[in-house]
Amino acid sequence: MTARVVSPARGPLVGDVRPPGDKSISHRALLLGAVAEGTTVARGLLDAADVRSTAACLRALGVDVRWTGDEAVVTGGDLRAPEDRLDCGNSGTTMRLLTGVLAGRPLEATLVGDASLMRRPMLRVADPLRRMGATVDLAPGDTAPVHIRGGALTGIDFEAPLASAQVKSAVLLAGLSARGTTRVREPSRSRDHTERLLRAMDVTLDEADGWLVLPGGQRPRARAIDVPADPSSAAFLLAAGLLVPGSRARARGVTVNPTRAGLVEVLGAMGAEVVREDEADDVEPTATLGVTPPAGGLVAAMLGGDLVVRAIDEVPVLAVLAAFARGTTAIRDAAELRHKESDRLAFVARGLRALGVDVTEHPDGLDVVGDPARVLRGGVTLETRGDHRLAMAFGVAALRADGPVTLDDGECVAVSYPGFWQDLATLQGG
């Protein structure tokens, strides 16, 4: 754990930066490449700890994964039983999606992770996989270690109790090797990167009456995959550009997938203009994004329901923006954030209060009292809990403080955005 001191912005943030590859898509490119027929080349991968955990687990399962820079070459084939436990590090996506992949394989494996991941709930994935025929054992409290014995699966109709891309993806990945048809329906639409990649890799996946319909006995076909930049990472740069007067910062090559567009909608609801340029569309739609603050400053908004589902990873930095919006911003339906790398609702609230912001915590959200003219309290040390998104959100907040702010662990950003501090410095002319 390495502390980092973040100083107030010394001037506008100006320039273009390409954020790292999308974390969700990077995981899925590796996992689908591992079970595909042929050799998949994934370019633009996020080279960070979470995605490296997925690659390491696949190698332990006998998959040929060759990784250089931001490109990986993955040769699909039969998975073999690992010689040791599969270490998923800090990555919930690795643990949950890999459990889905292993459910249909005739082998046993145990998945573990770091202290944070070992506390996160796994029953939501284990339950539908058990119904399909896999044996999934969890620790008391329904957490990891996850011990799975896969084998012959049968497709099910699964109505998810909550919208979760990880749960949905685990069931679909298991359904590839199941007998019969697997159908999945969510109460609202979660991010659809798995569906897009499956179809791009020639898997038949239909939609009917709100159900995703996947016939079993299919194997993806390898292809080249260009991973776009991550909107959840771009969010921190765009937020910094909104908070520092006179800024003209843009994020290049970002996926603007509608199921990830919650950030754009929230910024619009708060009065900001989001400009899209250089738009393109392959497996994922992409664009260069820039933001322009409203003349009178940001305004408070009500954030809940499907909108929060589509911006769940951006909630910490949106709460920071809310501290500078006129009025009280209400964030609801975000209880899932209590089960991330940290209890993000609790520690966002604690950090903002230390910076001088009035925050009320609710079981599923926050009320943040904003002021466009606010200057945050410097000279404080904020607890990040080793959570990359908290560290970046507090780093953005520090740009509008009256003195330096210390983060107790600034290097945890490496989980999703290893170059964050350098990119922030570059936009400030450093």
- Match 């620790």 to its residue by tokens: 139
* Cα distance between residue 98 and residue 28, in whole Å: 10
Query: What is the CA 428 to chain-centroid distance, rounded?
Result: 26
Taking 3-state DSSP, the helix, strand and coil percentages for the chain, each rounded to the nearest 5, stand at 35, 25, 40
Joined together, the tokens standing for residue 378 give 């410097």
Angle between helices 165-175 and 123-132 (to 10 degrees): 20
> Order of strands, edge to edge, in the sheet holding 359-362?
302-303, 327-331, 365-370, 359-362
Which residue from 20, 114, 140, 92 is spatially nearest to 336, judged by alpha carbons? 92
Rounded-to-integer distance, Cα 126 and Cα 119, Å: 15
CA 39 to chain CA centroid, Å, is 26
Query: In Å, how far are 126, 165, 170, 171, 289 from 97, measured between CA atoms?
Result: 11, 10, 5, 8, 30
Distance from the first to the final alpha carbon of the chain: 24
Distances (CA, A) of 80 to 7, 109, 252, 290: 50, 10, 39, 46
313 tagged catalytic:
yes
Which residue in 22, 50, 226, 313 is the catalytic one? 313
Widest Cα–Cα separation across the chain: 62
Alpha-carbon span 178 to 133, nearest angstrom: 9
Place of tokens 């390898």: 222
Q: Which amino acid is at 369?
A: V
Structural contact between residues 120 and 145, judged by C-beta atoms closer than 8 angstroms: no
CA of residue 172 relative to chain centroid, distance: 19
The whole-angstrom separation of Cα 105 and Cα 303 is 41
Assign 304 to helix, strand or coil: coil
- Catalytic center residues: 313
